[in-house]
Chains A and B, each alone.
Chain A
Amino acid sequence: MATKYTITGPAYIKLFFHLAKHPHQRVNGVLIGKELSEGVVEATDAIPLLHHWTSLSPMMEIGLDLAGQYAESAGLKVVGYYQACERPEDTTLFPVGEKIASRIKQGFNHAIAFVLDASQIDGTSAALVPYVPAAPNPNWKPASSSPQPFTVDSPYQLSPPNLASRALALVRDEKLHLKFGDFDDHLEDVAIDWLRNKACVPKDL
């Protein structure tokens, strides 16, 4: 049976903010969460890594290590990877993304990767393309589109279901994404709390 994945409020909002803050650049980060029961994974938060030199590895390695330690301290695990491309219509998982997703899979067997499809952002669609492991390792492939991810019977869900419209409104109306910072931002100013980003997530989420 296919593993079920649920992405909750803070995870989706932060992932969306990462794209919104750097629409002209590639961005990537990780999802943290836990396996609720066999084959049921909940991603409860997102930790943004880079928007600069995203194909280079040293800061990625450090960021991944720190994110993993933070997740562990919160009783969670790194469960997935996300990225977005500077070209809205490009939903390929980059070679670097495959490597990172494979590394995450070493620590969490049900690891998942998501690519943001900016061309689908309209407030109704999750605009996420899931990628799952494909043999031979370390390749990844888009998940089955039957049923379409993030629709009613799909193993991929947002919780609550209106997160897409909420995220878009938070960017357009409140510009909360401007308070968001990733590891690249943190390296320029260590006061930026890239692991938590509390200031940009509404209290009700």
Chain B
Amino acid sequence: MSPSIEDLASFRTKNFRASQEFIDKASPILKDVKKAKSNDDGTHFVVNPATVALTRKQCALDVGRLDIAKTAWKALSERIGHDSPRVILLQGLIMEATESLDTVLRFYESEASKNQHNPSFWKRQISVLRQMGRIEEAINELRLFLDTFYNDLEGWLELADIYSSCCQYTSALQALSHALLLAPQNPFTFLQFAETAFSAGDIQLALRNFLIVIDMSDQTPVGFSVRAWWGVKLCARRLIHPPAGTSNESPSKTPVPKNIKLIDQLATERVLTAYSGERGIHNRDVVSRWMTSN
């Protein structure tokens, strides 16, 4: 594959969501897509995510290039056939940007019933229900979906997100528990679990999971571990100095660590270390003040 196609292919394999950057890089290639020979340079691997990136109806100000989306869809359908489920799915995504959601919902319901072994159409159907604000139906369909396709990690994360958006944090934690079983090596899921536990008022459980995230990261606080150390600090402070009128009882019966004050000191040191170099100069003062306040 040419270097630029390699770049674009990496968007797909690494699951990047950088729509504008992708379009800026992909547009020159898509202009020549008709000239590309079949089975040669992986152009069809480029076309698929280009269409997906462009056609999400939720994006009012997303790249909005439906012209490119339709060109890409046409090229893909000529290459792999109009009956391919992938092509039909991409057609549905374009419809989400151009048709009423009722029409799109009927489309996905029809395709889902024709392709019961393919979860993609069912998932889009659930996504459209959420877009329409039919949250209870979306939850019910998603639960049915996950009864059938238990291993769908994205589905469990989506269910957790929907529950959190309704402030049903306990249900969100239950959904995330399944996600953790499926992906125990992913620190971001533990991070989401920790933040959800905090939102549910289970500070001890949140602290435990923030510490798990830190266990999974490098020693130097950078990237997602900075977020986790902030979480540890927030939890430790809350446990050492509980706000008036609140209880420190953990709904999950997770105990408070005996060395909580040492954890608090360590979290303070780690966060301040993250801001100690040149990169932290803009916010160092306000962070230091926060660390010393109660």
Contacts and interface: CB of A to CB of B under 8 A. Distances in A.
B143 interface: no
Contact of B283 (A19, A57, A58, A195): A195
Contact of B286 (A57, A59, A61, A69): A69
B60 A188 contact: no
Majority-rule SS of B interface residues = helix
B56 A87 contact: no
Nearest to A26: B165
Interface in B158-215: 161, 164-167, 192, 194-196, 198-199, 206
Nearest to A188: B223
A23 B59 contact: yes
Interface of B: 17, 20, 56, 58-62, 131, 133, 161, 164-167, 192, 194-196, 198-199, 206, 223-224, 226-227, 230-231, 234-235, 274-275, 278-280, 282-283, 286-287, 289-290
B114 to A, nearest CB: 28
Interface string A150-174: 0000000000000000000001000
A96 B60 contact: no
A20 B278 CA distance: 29
A90 B274 CA distance: 38
Contact of A61 (B20, B60, B196, B234): B234
A121 B290 contact: no
Contacts of B234: 58, 61-62
Nearest to A65: B290
A190 B280 contact: yes
A190 B231 contact: no
11 contacts: A55-B164, A56-B192, A56-B199, A58-B195, A66-B287, A87-B133, A96-B167, A187-B230, A190-B226, A191-B278, A191-B279
Interface string A63-81: 0011001100100000000
A66 B166 CA distance: 26
Closest 5 CB pairs of A and B: A118-B60, A88-B60, A191-B279, A193-B282, A55-B164
A153 B199 CA distance: 41
Contacts of B286: 66, 69-70, 73, 195
